[in-house]
Structure 1
Amino acid sequence: MEIYLIRHTTPNVEKGICYGQTDLDITETFATEARAIKQVLPPQIPVVFSSPLQRCSKLAAELFPAHEINFNAQLKELHCGIWELQKWDDIPAPELKTWMADFVNVQVPGGESYTQLYTRTVDCFNQIITQHQQAAIVCHAGVVRSILSYITNTPLIDSFNVFKLYYGCVVKITRQQTGLTYQLLHNIPPAQPEQHRPTNL
């Protein structure tokens, strides 16, 4: 069994903006990033799944132009609720501190907790691996991190430190006698680091 997890390319959004399920477009670097991803994928992957958000759907179409893409809302990024498209530094401190103190279990106001993201992601992943021996999943960092936490039994609270996942990363999951294992095939740090938290916390 081979499952290829592919994170979307650089989204068209200002640094320091909170986004999750906002349907962001791609940037002018898309073609270059997509070519680099394609180089590490096998020539024939029979089944492709994707988040329906356009930063994923456009990448899936670019990488697999001959495929019918299976879109699944369970593969969307964390729902950031009322924080979507707010600057991290403008989010009220009491709300933010409550969430950051226990982001695994506390829901973003009007959105999800990390545990809720993990639950729906793992449910979708298990459906895929029970039905397909080889497939690609084009999705988001939160989804990839959830799957890797699941197959390695990594506590969610540790997952950001354990799994450093950059735009366009590709992770290959295979089934061994000991269980599911993973290998990073492509994971290049950006020139400017991503910002998914306030500058003062």
Structure 2
Amino acid sequence: MEIYLIRHTTPQIDKGTCYGQADLDVTDSFDQEAACIKPYLSPLIEKVISSPLQRCSKLAQYLFPSHTIQYDDRIKEIHCGEWELQPWDVIDKQQLDPWMADFINVQIPGGESYVQLYQRVASFFEEVVQKYSSLAIVAHGGVIRSLLAYINEVKLRDSFGQFSFSYGCVIKVHGTNEQFRHTILHNPDRPKEQHRPASY
């Protein structure tokens, strides 16, 4: 079995902004970033599944123009609820402190916790590996990190240090239902991202 995990290209948003399921567009560098991904993909990919958010759907359509792309809400990014599209540094510290202390289990107000994201991603993965032997998944950083934590049996809190990848990365998961391994095929050098307040 071969599964290609593809993270969307750079989204059109100011650095330091909290975002998850906001339907962000891509930057002007999209065509260049997407073209760099193509050489790392097998021509024998059977099925393509993408997050419906446009930063993923546009990439899926670009990379796989001859495929019928399936969209699945379970591989959307984490739901950031009331914090969506707010600058990290203006979010109420009384709300942030409990989340920063335990962002794995504490739910973002009006949104999700990382455990909830992980659970829906694991459910999705268990379903698709029963159906397809060659698959491409176009998704988000949180989704890909959750999936890698799941197949490698890594604790979610440890996964942030263990799995590091940038916009436009390609990771190949291969093996059987009993044991999967992963290989990073493409991890472009991009500016450092900011997904938490600068003060923490």
TM-score, normalisation: structure 2 = 0.98
2:162 maps to 1:194: no
Tell me what 1:61 maps to: 61
Partner of 2:109 in structure 1? 109
Equivalents in 2 of 1:44, 1:37: separation in Å?
16
1:76 aligns with 2:76: yes
Q: Look up the equivalent residue of 1:143 and give its one-letter code.
A: V
Give the fraction of aligned pairs with identical amino acids, expressed as a percent: 54
Residue 197 of structure 1 aligns with an amino acid whose one-letter code is R
Q: Which stretches of structure 1, 4 residues or more, deviate above 4 A after TM superposition? A: none
Distance, in Å, in 1 between the alignment partners of 2:176 and 2:71 is: 28
2:44·2:134 contact (CA, 8 Å) conserved in 1?
no
SS at match of 2:20: coil
The one-letter code matched in structure 2 to 1:37 is: I
The CA deviation at 1:44 is 2.5
Q: Which position in structure 1 is the counterpart of 2:100?
A: 100
Q: Which runs of 5+ in 1 are unaligned?
A: none
Amino acid at match of 2:86: Q
Distance, in Å, in 2 between the alignment partners of 1:186 and 1:161 is 18
Distance in 2, matches of 1:97 and 1:154, equals: 25
CA distance in 2, matches of 1:155, 1:77: 19
Asked whether the equivalents of residues 12 and 24 of structure 2 are also in contact (C-alpha less than 8 Å), the reply is: yes
CA shift, 1:50, in A, is 0.3
- Take 1:126 and 1:183, find their aligned partners in 2: how far apart are those partners? 20
For 1:62, give the aligned amino acid: Y
| Alpha-carbon distance, 1:177 to partner | 8.9
Residue deviations 1:38-76, cap 9 Å, x none? 111112311000000000000000000011110000010
Matched, 1:11 2:7: no
Partner of residue 152, structure 1? 152
Please, what is the CA RMSD of the aligned residues? Answer: 1.0
Cα distance in 2 for partners of 1:149, 1:70 equals 24
The number of residue pairs the alignment matches comes to: 200
